[in-house]
Structure formats: structure tokens, C-alpha cells
A and B are shown apart, each in its own frame.
Chain A
């Protein structure tokens, strides 16, 4: 299997889907400049630069998606979506419902986030839970190169609006990507390591840190099941509950801030639906309730690392 980066996996996904379906278009700030090879292949009509104005970028995608096109928009950094909350949340997320099902919005918004480039809080802010809370929007946040490609392809093909979060820290981290055509289904979590003693759920870069923690704890005889959620909405509740009913313990790890982070929702679901299986507290290991800092040492300290995850696991197990 070939190894390449999520950055390339994303471009391959877009190329394949544009080849497959003439209705797929791709625009955003500097998209045509950066992806000149796609412009050569698909033309300036389908690959477009836009004014630096997120509201109209996303609004245009929403309007186009309701009338026959399938837009992918790159807003660059996820926090820039705040300029387009109206268009994304009120229109893409609600107008299907408001209209009694008359319209659908097959579009993908891509945005980078997470520590890795020391870009500070206006370019790095893990806001995935905002869009899980908002109705009518799917939320995807892959960790492995192959899933960046497979999930982006599925997102482009889906009939619903998708926010596709790209963890900056993973963008240049190569991974195996199958050569043949494939997609990764939305709404399915993946067990990366099987284990009997405790479940560790994560997404984005902290999946790798969870794996590091699991490998270290294996030496102490603790068998950890690590699950990469990949799609946060729709949530693969079944896989979570199956795992927890086997291991009886759960730790959720995410880079996003703790307060009302998605870990809180997962903890609530497990305590409501699988309380009888739990033999200890559900523990969250998360970023702090602060804006992500720029300084390298502070940025590194923001996302949970291996040691914090190990401490969380021990707390959950009561050891």
C-alpha cells in the first residue's frame, strides 16, 4: 500500500469525486491558486477562487447545493466559520426542516484546526461540538490518511451538509492509503486496538496519543480498547455501547475544551444507556477551558498527551 499525507489524500478525494460527478465544484480562499493542477483538469468554472468573505463563500455553497450542484468549500481555518455561522447554521442546517423537507444541501465545508502550527486561537479552535449541537449538520474529523480520503469522498456523496474538520497536526503525517477506489462510511467508528479492560474514545490527533498511552499501559498489563470515532455526527452509538459493555470502563479524550465538549455528551449517553455495565466513573481527558495559545510549549500542553491520558485511565480504573 502506498503511504502519503492527509493533505494529498484530501486532494485525491476531491479529484476522484470531481471526475465521478460533474456537479461537484470546489471553491474557497485561494483554492484555484493552490490547486492549479485541479484547475488544469477540471477548469476555472469548477475550481474557483473567491473573495475573502466567509459568509458569502458558505452562503453560495448552500444556495448552489439546493439547486443542483455539490459544492466543496475550503474556509482554510475552522474558526473562520464564525463569519459564516448564519449561512451554515441557519440555512444549511435548518432550511430543510423549516421548508418541510423541500430542500437538501449536499455540501462539504472543510476547515483546519488543532495545535501543530503555533497559529494561535483565531486559526486554531476545536469547535466541533458547536456543530454537533446545531441541528441538520454532520460532523467529521478523521485521524488516519486513509480515512481523510474515504470520509471526504463519502461526505461529498452525502445529501446532507458536512463540516469536515482537518487536524492541522496530522496534515503532513503520512499513512497507508489503498490504491483501489474505496470510501469510508459516515457514522461508523473504528476500533484501532482491541482490549478488555477499558475503552478509550478519541478523534483527530489525540487518537495517536491514546494509542501511545495504550501501548505503555499494555506493559503494565492493562488492555485498552482504542476507538477512533471519525464521524462525530451521526454518532456510532452502537459501537461505543458495545465496547463499554465489554470493558466496563470509559475514558474520552479530545483536544477541544472540556466544558460542553463532545466528551460530555458521550459520557452522558453511556451513563444513560449502559449504566449497568459501568464499574467506574467516565473520565474526560481534554483541552482546558481557554483559547488555544500560540507559544509552542503552551500549544503542546493544550492537547492531552500520553501522560495525561494514562492518568485518566488510572483514575477511571481506580488504580
Chain B
């Protein structure tokens, strides 16, 4: 990997990591209510999103910080949204869980597990029928793969040959239940193959691997070969929701093993072979500074006017 791209990837992964650590500190300090952390899944988000074009449409879920920031969402406006402020991307009506940013192609974020899977077929149909060359990308987890709608979505996308990239971030956890308790298979890509969709499982903690395979998948979809399925095999290093989930139910040895594979730390070692420690430190310092400013911006931002309570229900 060339230096410039490596630094770009690292910058995004570090930003996501620090952003979520910032949120955690705010939550622990009772300055925000709650959020669902994607800590440990940064490589999956950055690897996939970096392989997309500007016109592509992303659908995500409640564990979306990585997808948002990798796509270029401003941390300050994300933070403002988490705090329910008028300057947030959704005017404070989403809060931490379902942030959409239409201008960046992040559409219809749903936090009903599997909701995004039901919507992406429609987005794919639009892109296909309106003769664009764009594709729809749907992020979901192993939990959503256990919803009936997962199977309905893959089946229809396959039958209609829709331009959809399914990205299953298999983080091993379905809220408070380990994946092994709920499914007989290890790789959800096995299910996808049954719907005649090309499907692979990749090391979700390796950003280069994710990027490389996403490029391949995207090329296939743009060549009008129908949907493609990538399972990024990764791990949710934090609990289901912050700050109350203390992960008492998590096997300590498993957690430790995955911590050794921390995608941000591991990738930094690789970047250090391409860039100087000073370069990296400067990049990290800039991000820390940006996040401090973002927190300040969000805190200083006004709350929405109370007349917003009944606005945006209908198109009037």
C-alpha cells in the first residue's frame, strides 16, 4: 500500500477511534445519554467506504460512527446530533442512533435491526431503474442476519439483480448474546451463497484486506453482475451500549485475544513502516484537537426550537 493511502486510512481509523472514545468519556460524565460503540470495527468501515464512489448510497445502522466519519461526516455535527442539538445532521431528531447525512449519500439510517436490509432493495431498484452507475451499500451485523428480512432482502436482490453491496460486519455479538448461541454457522457468507450471490468472508480487522476485496466487489456490481456480499469478520470490543454495559457477560479470554488484533493499533504498526513517527504523531494531534473543538461546538450549539416537535412529520 502506498504511503498516501495508508496515511488516509489511518487518519480515518484514528478519528473514528478517538471520536468514540470522546463519546464514551461524555457518556461516563453524564454529558450524553447513550450510544452504541463500533470500537474495534474501524477497519471494516474505512476499508469498505474508501472503496466507494461519491454517488454510491450507504445505508447503515445504530453502530454507524465508522461509516459516517469514513464518508467524511464532520465530527462536530455528529457530536451535535448525539447531544440533540439543532446543528446536528438531523436537527437533533435522531440523536446518537440513527444519523443520516443525505448530502454524503448516507441514507435512511435505521436502528430497527435489519431495517436497512429491507430498504436497500428499494434504493438498489431506484439506482438500477434510473440508470445510474451508482451502487447501494448496506451495513448490518450478524444480529440482523438472524432477522427474516435478511433472507427476504438477499433473495429479492438476487432475483432482481440489484446493484447492492451487502456488508455484514460480523462482530460476534447480537446485543447481549454471542453469535454462537444463535446460529449453526461461523460465516454468514455461507447463507448469502445460497441465494446465488457471490459472497466472501474477509478479515474485518485488516483495512487493506477489506479495501481490496470491496474494490473487487464494487467492480463486479458496476459491471451489472447483481449484488455482492462481503462479511467482515471482526469483534465488538465494547458492550452493546455505552456507558452502562460493563461486558460482564463477555468471555475474558476471547476479548483479550481480539484486543491483540485491535485494527487501529495493528494498522499503525504497518503505517510506521511507511511514514515517520513524527508524521503520525502530528496527524493524531490534529485529530485530538479537531475533536476538542467538535465537543466545544456541540456543547455551545443551541437546542432545537420547541416548534420542531411537530415539524418534518409530513411533507407539507
A contact residues vs B (CB 8 Å cutoff): 25, 45, 50-51, 53, 55-56, 58-69, 71, 86-87, 90-91, 95-104, 135-136, 138, 159-160
Tell which of B127, B148, B315 touches A67, judged by Cβ atoms closer than 8 Å: B127
Known: A51-B159, A98-B98. A63 touches B313 (CB 8 A): no
Chain B residues in 8 Å Cβ range of A159:
315
Q: Could you give, for residues 107-142 of chain B, a 1 whenever the CB lies within 8 Å of some chain A CB and a 0 otherwise?
A: 111101011011111111111011000000000000
Tell which of B94, B109, B123, B159 touches A63, judged by Cβ atoms closer than 8 Å: B123
Q: Could you give, for residues 90-114 of chain B, a 1 whenever the CB lies within 8 Å of some chain A CB and a 0 otherwise?
A: 1111100010111000011110101
Q: Are B93's CB and A98's CB within 8 A?
A: yes
Can you name 13 A-B residue pairings with CB atoms under 8 Å? A25-B129, A51-B152, A59-B122, A61-B122, A64-B126, A66-B107, A66-B122, A66-B123, A90-B112, A96-B313, A96-B314, A98-B98, A101-B91
Q: Are B126's CB and A95's CB within 8 A?
A: no
Chain B residues in 8 Å Cβ range of A100:
88-94, 312
In the complex, residue of chain A having the shortest beta-carbon distance to the beta carbon of B110: A91
Given contacts A63-B126, A71-B122, A100-B93, 12 further A-B contacts (CB under 8 A): A45-B129, A51-B156, A59-B152, A60-B122, A63-B59, A63-B118, A87-B119, A96-B314, A99-B93, A99-B98, A103-B102, A136-B313
Q: What is the CA–CA distance of A2 and B143 in the complex, to the nearest angstrom?
A: 55
Q: Are A63's CB and B91's CB within 8 A?
A: no
Q: Is B149 an interface residue (CB 8 A)?
A: yes
Q: What is the CA–CA distance of A104 and B312 in the complex, to the nearest angstrom?
A: 9
Q: What is the CA–CA distance of A6 and B90 in the complex, to the nearest angstrom?
A: 42
Residue of B92, B108, B153 contacting most chain A CB atoms (<10 Å): B108
Q: Are B129's CB and A86's CB within 8 A?
A: no
Q: Are A64's CB and B122's CB within 8 A?
A: yes
Q: Are A68's CB and B156's CB within 8 A?
A: no
Known: A56-B149, A91-B110, A103-B102. A62 touches B94 (CB 8 A): no
Q: Is B278 an interface residue (CB 8 A)?
A: no
Q: Are B125's CB and A103's CB within 8 A?
A: no
Tell which of B92, B101, B152 touches A56, judged by Cβ atoms closer than 8 Å: B152
CB distance from B69 to the nearest CB of A (A): 18
Tell which of A45, A55, A69, A97 touches B118, judged by Cβ atoms closer than 8 Å: A55
Tell which of B112, B121, B312 touches A101, judged by Cβ atoms closer than 8 Å: B312
Q: What is the CA–CA distance of A111 and B19 in the complex, to the nearest angstrom?
A: 46
Tell which of B130, B153, B156, B314 touches A136, judged by Cβ atoms closer than 8 Å: B314
Q: Are B90's CB and A65's CB within 8 A?
A: no
In the complex, residue of chain A having the shortest beta-carbon distance to the beta carbon of B149: A55
Residue of A45, A59, A95, A160 contacting most chain B CB atoms (<10 Å): A59
Across the A-B interface, give the 10 residue pairs with the lowest CB-CB distance, nearest first: A63-B122, A59-B118, A100-B91, A64-B122, A56-B152, A63-B119, A100-B90, A67-B126, A159-B315, A101-B312
